[in-house]
Every structure is written in structure tokens, then in C-alpha cells.
Amino acid sequence: MKSLVLTTILSSVLLSSCATSPLGRNQVAFLPDEQMSQMGIQAFGELKQKTPIETSSQINNYVKCIANAIIKEVGGQWEIVVFKDDSANAFALPGSKIGVHTGILKVAQTPSQLAAVIGHEIAHVLSKHSNERASQEMLVNEGLNLTKGFLGAKGADPTVAAVLGLGAEVGILLPYSRTHESEADLYGLDLMAKAGFDPRESVQLWENMSKASGNKNSPSFLSTHPSHSNRIQDLQKRIPNAMTLYNQAKAAGKNPSCKL
């Protein structure tokens, strides 16, 4: 009876929460956008309290020049903060928040390369990947709890239930995250091109990333991110389309002049 009720509830959720990503992929994201925004705002506030913020006007102006050029293409009021952190990282959160670590500037060595990073992060938010990820984890956790209860009632070996957790992580959750990363790469490429940044430099960015990581990648099937080589191949396939957007942007007079 419990199984039937849970199945009915989950089926209703799936049917009522179907969405489509900006690149046309079907999604399940059933958490309210307002709730996701509030979570992002809260998390960003906590980060600002815990992490030193870069005070250099030169660095801040440079990062915001690039970010604002992309924001003009997507709309909205976004908060941009540069964190004084040596890790090569950047992120964006629901609630229109963008964080950039100073360490990324050692890898993203040109405005267009940094635009590829920021475009990627904004693409995550616009594609509602956080909502999709949270929604999926909720569904997977409910399914695992139901299965474990069933196995326990049947007297099954408890190690089987433990393996189910690993199986779900490797088989469902991690590949889904790789899908998000790949989608953000491609959609972010379009966003940077529309803003007037050269999409071809996205390839150099990931070559720089590969060198910075010592050319080491964990096996793709156990990684939440595609390998650097796979990312580069996928970007190269989409660059012709992005170049059309880039040329249109240049013809429209979009020529961001961002200097460090």
C-alpha cells in the first residue's frame, strides 16, 4: 500500500513539474523558484561573511565589466562579488548572485576566457540546474528509502541496500551532474558570444584548466564534471554556431572593453 501511494505521488510530481531547459532538454524541477532564490541569497550571504572579499578596484572593475556585458544579454539585477581566494573557481546561485575567486584569473587569462567561465555559471542558474538537482535527489532518496524498506522486510542481505546507495550515486546522480556541466558549457558559450566575447577562447580556457590541474582527470563515469578533453571536443562542435552569434554581436557594436 505504501509503495502504491509513494508511486502515485511521485508520478504526479513528475507529470506536473516537466520543464524544458534553454537548450531543449526535458527537466524535472518541482521546487518553487522563489524558494530556490531564497536559498541562493542565504548561501551567498553566508559566503560573504566567511570569505575575504577582494578590495582592489582594478580587479573588481575588470570582473564586473565582463559579467555585466553578459548580464545585459540575460537581464535582471545580479550581485557580483570577487572573493579573495586562490582556488580557480567561480559560481552563480539562484537569486541572481555571482561569485568569482581571484584564483580563476590565473587560469582565465583574457577577458573572453573569463567570460566563458562567467557565462557557464550564469547558464547554470538560467537552466535551473540547482532546482533540477535538488528535485532529483529528493526523488532518488525517496525511492531508495522505499527499496531498502522492501529489502528489509524480505530479509535480504543488508549490504545489498548499501550498494544501492552507491549504484544510485554513480548511475543517476553523477551523470546527471555531468549533463548539467555540459549544458552550461554550451549555453554559456552562446551567452558570451552574444555579449561580444570570442567563443573560440573557451577552448584555450579549458586547455589552461587542464594544465593547471596537472593534466589529471578522474574517470568520467566517477566525475561530476566531464573530462577536459570531452569539454573541449563538445565546445569545438558548437563554436561555428557561437561564431554566428559573435559576428552578429560585433556587427551590432558590442565590443566589451574590459582590461585588468
**Residues noted as catalytic:** 121
What burial class does residue 131 get, using C-beta atoms within 10 Å of its C-beta: 0-12 exposed, 13-18 middle, 19+ buried?
buried
Amino acid at 163: V
Q: Taking a C-beta distance cutoff of 8 angstroms, is the pair 98, 80 a contact?
A: yes
For residue 188, give the C-alpha cell: 554559456
H/E stretch holding 140: helix 129-153
Q: Judge whether 96 and 243 are in contact, CB under 8 Å.
A: no
DSSP annotation string for 170-210: IIIIHHHHHHHHHHHHHHHHHHHHHTT--TTHHHHHHHHHH
